[in-house]
């Protein structure tokens, strides 16, 4: 992918804002290209079927997660209260 001059300038600004360092146009081009390549390798769009499956699984597991969190909180409170009385 080709980065335009405006893209390189914006990357330099973002880099400076995030890391507090100025980088050259050449370094910004190299780092920007590497970032785009990484995103190209990692990012995979989700299909509608995958999205629906994840939403279904999320709804099925939400009560289990809620129950687990509630039990963990009450166990933590009991342990804390027991330590205070000893």
Under 8 Å between Cβ of 36 and 8 = no
- Copy the structure tokens of residue 38: 């990484």
Q: What is the pTM of this model?
A: 0.54
- Copy the structure tokens of residue 76: 């933590």
- Copy the structure tokens of residue 4: 């335009």
How many domains does the structure of the chain reveal?
A: 2
Specify whether 37 is located in the same domain as 6. Answer: yes
pLDDT at 82: 53
- Average pLDDT in the 54-82 region? 75
- Least confidently predicted of 19-28, 29-38, 48-57, 58-67: 58-67
- Average pLDDT in the 57-69 region? 86
Domain that holds residue 52: 45-86
Specify whether 31 is located in the same domain as 10. Answer: yes
Specify whether 9 is located in the same domain as 32. Answer: yes
- More confident position, 16 or 83: 16
Give the number of other Cβ atoms within 10 Å of residue 23's Cβ: 17
């Amino acid at each position: 992918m080709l980065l335009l001059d405006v893209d390189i300038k914006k990357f330099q600004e973002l880099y400076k804002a995030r890391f507090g360092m100025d980088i050259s146009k050449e370094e910004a081009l190299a780092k920007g290209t590497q970032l785009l390549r990484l995103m190209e390798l990692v990012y995979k769009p989700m299909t509608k079927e995958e999205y629906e499956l994840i939403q279904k699984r999320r709804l099925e597991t939400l009560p289990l997660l809620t129950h687990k969190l509630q039990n963990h909180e009450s166990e933590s409170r009991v342990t804390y209260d027991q330590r205070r009385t000893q």
